[in-house]
Every structure is written in C-alpha cells, then in structure tokens.
Amino acid sequence: MIVGDITGYLESLAPAGYQESYDNAGLITGRHDLAIDSALITLDVTEEVIDEAISKGCRLIISHHPVLFRPIKRLTGNSYVERCLIKAIKNDIAIFASHTNLDNILGGVNSKIGEKIGLKNLKVLSPSGDLLVKLVTFIPLNHLEKVQDAIFTAGAGHIGKYDRCSYQVSGNGTFRADAEANPYVGEKGEFHVEKEVRFETIIPVHLKDRVVKAMIEAHPYEEVAYDLYPLQNSMPGVGSGMVGELDEPQEESSFLSRLMEIFDCKVIRHTHLTGKPILRVAVCGGAGSFLLPNAIAAGADVFITADLKYHDFFDSENRIVIADIGHYESEQFTKDLFYELLMKKFPKFAIRLSGIKTNPISYLIKG
C-alpha cells in the first residue's frame, strides 16, 4: 500500500472541498507515494501519538484534527505542533487529517454521534451552498453518447439518490474556421452550421477540473465551447450538524443521564430544562454554537454540541435544551468511524486505533 491509496479513498468519501474555509484537512506531512504497512488512527496528533506510531511501525497517522491548523514560520521545536512536525518528518511518518470535511457529510462524524444516541431519519441541519457549478456545453449529435459518458464518469450529474442527471435540447451551432484551424466538420474559411445538443449538468466544485478535462478529451471539436455557472443550491447530504428523532420521547433528565453514559462525560453543561419530553435531537460534534438557530428552526427539543460560551446559553430562550458535552467527548467515536470506513475498503490492511487518550481537559468534581 501507499499513502495515496488510503488518503485518496478517505477524500473520495469526504472531499477536501467540503471543509470549512478556516480548516487544514488533507495530507500535512509525508508523500502520497510513501510505502506503508499499517496506519494509526487518532483524534488528535500529539508527541505521544507519534511515539506510538513509531513503536508500532505505523508510517501513516490518520487524525480528525489537523496538527497544523494555523500557519507557522519556523520549525524550532518551541511548541508541541513544531515538535510533532519535526518528529514526524525525521521518522518519515505521513500525517493526514479529515476534519470539517468529515463533519459535513452524511455518514460522517455527526452521523456517528446520531448513531450512538440512537437517532433515526438523520438529515443535515445546515446544508452547504456554493459547492456546485452548472456545466453547459454543446455536443455534435454523433458524439453525444461518448461525451456525456465521459462527463458522468468523471463525477458530474449526481442529484441526491440519482445519477447521470442532465438536460438536453437540440439546436444549431455555427462557426467559421480560420486558416490555422483543424476543424472536425466544415471547411476552413467557410461559415458552417452543425446540429448540436445543448447539454447541461451539475458538478461538485471539487470535481470541476476533472470533469472539464474528461469532457475536452472526449469531445471531437478542436475548440470546445462550454460555460460554468456557480450555483447557490445546497448540496444534498453535505453541511453542518445533523438532526433526527428518537424511537420514543424521553424525559429530559433521563436523556441527559443517558448522554453521560454514552459519551463517558464527567459533566454536562446545559440550560434550564423546559419540562417537555425529548424526541427531536440536533447534534454537532465539536464547537457548534453557530448552529443553535438552525437547531431551533428544525424543531429540535435538544441541541448537543460543545465549546459553548456563557452567553450562548441565554440564546436558547427556553425554546430548546442546550447540552454541552465537551469537545473530545462529542468526537471521540470518530476513531471508530475511520476504522469502520477503512476496514470495509481495505480489510487486509493493518489499521490500528491509538491507545493514547488525547483529551487535554481534566475535571475536578466537587464531592
């Protein structure tokens, strides 16, 4: 195996283009062509995790949180981030992170949280926009099948549970080739009219270049006419947070107690209880205060997330219970998610779960 086999598969499930603008998901150290025998999965990269990878012979570390999150100007070992990078590079260890891109997909981090709680009918809480473009091109009739197949195979034309989606209408294309041209049809210097099909489809932004390249290679024309239009449509199944339902309503205190057991919480910070049963549940692993209005609009009875500030709790206004279960606690099952995804694709490859608990927060509980 090489690093690119593993990282390419993970990015096919959670493309880097789905990450938030502030994020730094992807390959952080190492080469895509580095040969590896095993990989170590962790939530965070620390010096202890890198030591563990070295001791276990793992030349690839797969983490949720990027160890390199903010730009650095020097590698002197003055911070744990710099020491991690230096140690990884010295030992030829690749580090790969799948962060908010893994948060933002169905079947990702928030889906895993919902699964642990027992939610059904999971839907994205805040669908992402600006992730799609519309491709319009013009294809001669006798090449329609070849060109459209190339476009679809490259990743265009997916809408929800449907693929090979397009709109086509016949018309006339006109052109005149100059003396230096090599026209597929028509004669140099002569005005030509050709029966063509106007072909429209949608492309995820991160696949745009691949689709356009495939289209041009399959198209018979020397100069391929096409347009790309940015779309504001939300992309089905991509976005922040999840919302779903329990099998049956639960009393608030009982529900919070069950959360403590599931996520092994030492404490849950929550708003005053509303006195209403919990049925509809919104979740966002990690820092999710920005999704509180979405959770309320979705009719959720409780919003489970982490890293809320003092004044965020006031914003519930007794319309919803907010439960801050802790950042590490909310995302701890991401390691299991990585493991399950990789074992389905690479059942004979050595995937190891880190035994290091990387939670940097400890709790002093008053007796």
Q: How far is it, in rounded angstroms, from Cα 44 to Cα 327? A: 12
Could you give the CA distance from residue 68 to residue 66 in angstroms, rounded to a whole number?
5
SS3 153: helix
Element (H, E) at 228: strand 226-231
In the chain, what percentage of residues exceed pLDDT 90?
Answer: 96
Query: Which residues on adjacent β-strands are paired with residue 200?
Result: 136, 167
Q: Indicate the DSSP class of residue 272.
A: P
- For the chain, what is the largest distance between any 2 Cα atoms, rounded to a whole number of angstroms? 92
Which pairs count as long-range contacts for 156-163, CB under 8 Å and 24+ apart, including other chains? 156/201, 156/202, 156/203, 156/207, 156/211, 157/201, 157/202, 158/202, 158/204, 159/202, 159/236, 160/236, 160/237
- Number of continuous H segments (helices) and E segments (strands) in the chain: 11, 15
pLDDT at 365: 85
Q: What is the pLDDT of residues 269-290, one digit of tens each?
A: 999 999 999 999 999 999 999 9
Amino acid, res. 336: D
Contact 141, 220 (CB under 8 A): no
Q: Identify the helix (H) or strand (E) that includes residue 49.
A: helix 47-56
Instruction: State the virtual CA torsion across 74, 77, 80, 85 in degrees, nearest 10.
Output: 70
Instruction: Write down the pLDDT at residue 366.
Output: 83
Summarize pLDDT for 230-284 with one digit per residue, the tens. 999 988 789 999 999 999 999 999 999 999 999 999 999 999 999 999 999 999 9
| Average pLDDT of the residues of the chain | 96
Beta strand extents in 73-166 (DSSP E only): 94-97, 120-127, 132-140
The residue with tokens 């991690």 is 84
Beta-carbon count within 10 A of 169 CB: 9
Residue 93 pLDDT class (50, 70, 90 cuts): very high
Q: State how beta strands 94-97 and 60-63 pair.
A: parallel
Q: How far apart are CA 215 and CA 179, in angstroms?
A: 26
**pTM score:** 0.90
In DSSP terms, 192 is beta-bridged to 175
Residue type, 46: T
List helix spans (H) across 14-143. Answer: 47-56, 80-90, 100-103, 109-117
Instruction: Give the pLDDT confidence of 31-79 residue by residue, as tens digits.
Output: 999 999 999 999 999 999 999 999 999 999 999 999 999 999 999 999 9
Least Cα distance to 239 among 349, 129, 122, 317 occurs for 129
Q: Is 240 left (phi over 0), alpha (psi -120 to 50) or beta?
A: beta
Confidence of residue 161 (pLDDT cuts 50, 70, 90): confident
Tens digits of residue pLDDT in 296-310: 999 999 999 999 999
